[in-house]
Amino acid sequence: MADDPDPPIRTKRLTDPPEPSDGRRHLLERKWPDGVSKEAAKVDAIHERLAPSDSLREFLGRESEKFDEFSLKFRMELIGADEELDKLIDEAEHGPITLLHEAEDSAKSHAAVVAAVLRERLDARRRSARRSGASEPGPSPRSP
């Protein structure tokens, strides 16, 4: 899967049923949602740091026309979450991951923003590896 140009980084509502194709399931919320069974949700990891602040969540509300501005502001909030984002990229290079959220619309959710950031960083990582790959030494020849 490491050679897949578009590793499966998906977004999905937490309440949608788990599927084998989800791979590892990552909840991007600051607190566990009320009324959702932890057993039924089958969440592998919770990433509080990759959820928007309460004030930013309130800014977006249910007004999807604010999503572009929300996205820019949320990207600013993600500054400093490099380690957590890099761990998700590492996982995505080895198999599918699903970013779970509570929003009504996956395409206009904070999980969609995180997925876009992950794809951008993964592309940058791959471009860097290709550039340096030409100068990487192969296995060292054995001395006689």
The pLDDT score that the predictor gives to residue 143 is 37
The tokens of 69 are what?
A: 């501005």
Name the average pLDDT for the chain.
86
Query: What phi, psi does 99 have (nearest 5°)?
Result: -95, 115
Task: pLDDT tens for the chain, 144 residues: list them.
Answer: 444 455 589 999 999 999 999 999 999 999 998 888 888 899 999 999 999 999 998 898 877 889 999 999 999 999 999 999 999 999 998 999 999 999 989 999 999 999 999 999 988 888 888 888 744 444 434 433
pLDDT digits (tens, 9 = 90+) for 71-82: 999 999 999 999
State the Cα–Cα distance between residues 125 and 48, nearest whole angstrom: 24
Helices 110-133 and 67-77 cross at an angle (nearest 10°) of 60
Which strand ranges, in their side-by-side order, compose the sheet holding 45-46? Answer: 9-13, 97-101, 24-27, 45-46
Residue 60 has a pLDDT of 87
Q: Say if residues 42 and 21 touch (Cβ distance below 8 Å).
A: no
Report the SS3 class of residue 83: helix
